[in-house]
């Protein structure tokens, strides 16, 4: 698969500067899949507003230094740069120093993620391995595998094996 992944940069979606950034030591060994448990967004304009809102919530209400996730993906398959590659996230307590957090925007308790979103995340994972940000032998987990949560929702959790086939 030589599909390139389209990443909307922090500058493009209007991110505020992080309070601080911590670099991962080496390539990420785990990928943790989340859902935002918010309504899904279906186009870039709507998704950019959603990402701005998530960053604001993470920084003001949760006290994070930045948006918690490394990347977010909309239903249209566009990937939004959160903290980005090689940066410690704030998405899975106790597991952030060796992982990459990717959030599907939407609530996937009862909804299945779009083919476009799944395909983009597969491409993002391949790109991460090719650029040495992601260990080729990475473990793919749902957030629920690491903590007391339903995240990433039953339908997305059931779809995780499709992402493993990279």
pLDDT per 10-residue tile (average), the chain, 166 residues: 77 96 94 95 95 97 96 96 96 94 96 94 95 95 94 96 77
Cα separation, 55 vs 58, in Å, equals 5
Q: What phi-psi label fits residue 68: left (phi over 0), alpha (psi between -120 and 50 degrees) or beta?
A: alpha
Check residue 164 and give its pLDDT. Answer: 76
Q: What is the CATH number of domain 26-164?
A: 3.40.80.10
Check residue 143 and give its pLDDT. Answer: 97
Check residue 3 and give its pLDDT. Answer: 59
Residues 6+ apart with CB under 8 A from 134: 27, 28, 31, 100, 125, 128
pTM to 2 decimals?
Answer: 0.95
* Residue 127 CB-density burial (10 A; 0-12 exposed, 13-18 middle, 19+ buried): middle
């Amino acid at each position: 698969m030589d599909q390139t992944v389209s990443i909307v940069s922090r500058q493009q979606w209007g991110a505020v500067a992080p309070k601080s950034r911590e670099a991962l030591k080496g390539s990420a060994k785990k990928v943790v899949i989340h859902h935002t448990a918010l309504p899904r967004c279906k186009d870039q304009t709507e998704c950019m507003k959603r990402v701005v809102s998530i960053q604001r919530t993470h920084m003001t209400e949760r006290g994070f230094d930045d948006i918690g996730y490394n990347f977010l993906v909309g239903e249209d398959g566009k990937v939004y740069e959160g903290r980005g590659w090689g940066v410690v996230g704030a998405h899975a307590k106790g597991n952030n120093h060796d992982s990459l957090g990717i959030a599907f925007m939407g609530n996937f308790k009862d909804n299945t993620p779009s083919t476009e979103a799944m395909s983009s995340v597969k491409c993002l994972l391949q790109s991460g391995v090719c650029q040495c940000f992601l260990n080729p032998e990475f473990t793919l987990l749902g957030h629920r595998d690491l903590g007391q949560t339903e995240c990433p929702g039953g339908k997305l959790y059931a779809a995780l094996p499709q992402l493993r086939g990279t």
